[in-house]
Chain A
């Protein structure tokens, strides 16, 4: 087991380095430059040079990359050009807010999808099955930023039940999950974000469970006189590794892919941070955020793999 973990971590290192090279190069390929937003349009060359030098953008790209990497290894991701604050603080603060949202969305999605998918698999071919399948297609297909706006219009603007934006009445630093006036800020973003995972996990659950239910050992279980609930329990246990894998992937996607939803809800997470950093070419923030998100993705997959190993002894044997 420990050997397995060590091997997985060792695999993650080249991936992480690859990501850093990729994101470093990508950011510099885009037209425009980071000092543009700091300066008036009629700034002289002398002023531009001063600022480029202050932030170290005058040095060759490989040198910049190496300096950045050496500092990143010890957790120093540089300083934001826009805000002058350390990137690591900015990213971790935003990450905590995004993880909170993504985790909530995946958990909610799992609860819904698990029940729906199992029902559809058990009553395969029935009206229930078709209904659930249709629902999961809708979930996957609706653009979530559109859904977010519609939910805001209905529940915040028209009905005035839930707030439209932000993370609690005093911002993220005073956020309190167990206080209704804070908690209600979470509801709309989580519902918006959970739609795609609901669709994906439902489909996976349905196909995995129905596949297991078609196995011969299920007939054996029934022949031995087990009641139907116990049969389903056995089927679910066998289908679990697949469901967990999809859940992990969905969590990863939500971490990096909630730029639009976070912008709509003014949620102070990594998506919001990335959006701003892209538009202002805040290179240290961009690089830091992409790196951390990539690492989170790698770590999530690692954790999911370990979970799978725990619930499915067959993996350990291979």
Chain B
């Protein structure tokens, strides 16, 4: 740990001096941070440094910047190309297969000669220890917060066993052909380092993984510093810069100003109104489709949207081109649950703008004017620019005969509505919560499965469709990928047939980079690989 990082206890002591504490900042020791040759400085949208002790918090941004930098999972995402949606690639496991004799038994062959940053070995025992960390509340290294955050991914695990030093098996409760995907979200932390630390609180000051970056220091809520792991097991992904500094900067204007004034090199999610200014200053503004959906989930029990014709009318009312224009091109038109670049898009019914048809459908459904109430948030992770976007949706819906009431609340309150489901909030006819659609379960199934009816899961409005139920059961029992993908695509198409959501737009994942930054390949993913980036000499 660098010597300039002082404990907060020192702050506490200083405070005793009453008013003199105003000057306390002035009395801090003047030790400049270690200056490396090249440093990549990133401004994140998060309000705090994500949890560094394994499973990051702060959503997928935490995984992007703290998860896959410090740590590896058994299976990784291939983030090396821009032309297709990111798919899975071997990580700490070199191979994974389903046991031909038992469709509940997954076998993972582990990578040999991998060491953690603290020098300890990565092997089958460490993997089993990591599995118990998030599944068994009786072990001393159990972590309740991370267990809770991972529960939907681990719920099907029955047990895990060691086959030899470099092979393990995970046995699921039910056959689950998509189970292996969950292992791409499971960070492997160092057992030896944790035991040395003794608690998660202490381990947070000395985290150790196998990832391409090592922990170098942290100022809570302000900055996390990582350095290059020279001995990373994948030589292609040894970082091409010496140091990575991550700073939480939740305010979009602040991020843009920080980039323009040269304080950072890489910012996440610049807002649409700053794009012209960033470009005119020579900044690189990158956009690319990725699995994100900005939509409304309908209430299928109470109110007008239980009628398929009303749902279709709403979809026909959307002028998605106007929405993209309003967002200065930082989004693409949304016609389905997943973007057209997804392997599961298929050939669904597309609800292109048709106001006449929309009005006719509303009249046929005897809902004209059709009064609906939409629950929306004022901001939030992945919500883009929720207020102007919802105003536009409202105007477009009202143009065809809806009468829309927008119920605004802050992000946390909207999450509460989403979590509890339509039963507790019958007055809301749709909720606007955007989602990551990274894998078939979290991107597609959870919105339509009977088992996922809120509050048990993500099916907020209690949608049900026997055909989809049958298909999903089959998918989980099909271990042939091509056959399975065809069925997943079919589920996606049925959702469109049924107008199971109000499809509006997909975010284009904007980020802006200083002209000094070279070599970044943006992936069609929530995750990104920063390792190939080179940074020109500072100023």
Contacts and interface: CB of A to CB of B under 8 A. Distances in A.
A57 B379 CA distance: 26
Interface string B220-237: 111100000000000000
Interface string A49-60: 011001000000
A179 to B, nearest CB: 6
B33 A281 contact: no
Interface size bracket, B side: 35 or more
A184 to B, nearest CB: 11
Given A51-B148, A169-B33, A266 B251 contact: yes
Nearest to A100: B25
B201 interface: yes
A107 B19 CA distance: 13
Interface in A63-91: 82-86, 88-90
B430 to A, nearest CB: 16
25 contacts: A31-B409, A32-B415, A37-B412, A38-B57, A38-B149, A40-B152, A41-B415, A44-B155, A45-B456, A47-B148, A84-B201, A85-B220, A92-B12, A96-B15, A96-B21, A99-B21, A164-B254, A164-B258, A165-B258, A170-B219, A171-B222, A266-B258, A268-B221, A268-B222, A276-B250
A167 interface: yes
Contacts of B24: 96, 100
A157 B5 contact: no
B219 A173 contact: yes
User: Which of B257, B446, B456 counts the most chain A CB atoms within 10 A?
Assistant: B257
Interface in B397-415: 409-413, 415
B6 interface: yes
B137 to A, nearest CB: 8
A31 B413 contact: yes
B115 interface: no
A273 interface: yes
B418 A41 contact: yes
B178 interface: no
A83 B253 contact: no
A306 to B, nearest CB: 12
Interface in A24-42: 30-33, 35-42
B140 interface: no
Nearest to A45: B455
Nearest to B260: A157
A163 interface: yes
B28 A175 contact: yes
B520 interface: no
A74 B238 CA distance: 49
A294 interface: no
Given A37-B412, A42-B152, A174 B31 contact: yes
Interface string A165-192: 1110111111111110000000000000
Interface size bracket, A side: 35 or more
B145 interface: yes
B88 interface: no
A89 B8 contact: yes
B154 to A, nearest CB: 10
A164 B149 contact: no
A279 B415 contact: no
User: Which of B33, B261, B415, B433 counts the most chain A CB atoms within 10 A?
Assistant: B261
B151 interface: yes
Given A41-B419, A43-B152, 10 more contacts: A36-B419, A39-B419, A41-B433, A42-B152, A84-B51, A100-B25, A166-B222, A171-B219, A280-B47, A281-B412
Interface string A271-286: 0110110011100000
B17 to A, nearest CB: 10
B11 A89 contact: yes
Interface in B10-27: 11-12, 14-15, 19, 21-26
Interface string B23-62: 1111011111100000000000001110100000100000
A36 B419 CA distance: 8
A141 interface: no
A185 to B, nearest CB: 9
Nearest to B4: A174
A133 interface: no
Contacts of A48: 148
A266 B249 contact: yes
Nearest to A185: B263
Interface stretch (A13-21, A124-132, A148-156, A196-204): A148-156
A214 B47 CA distance: 54
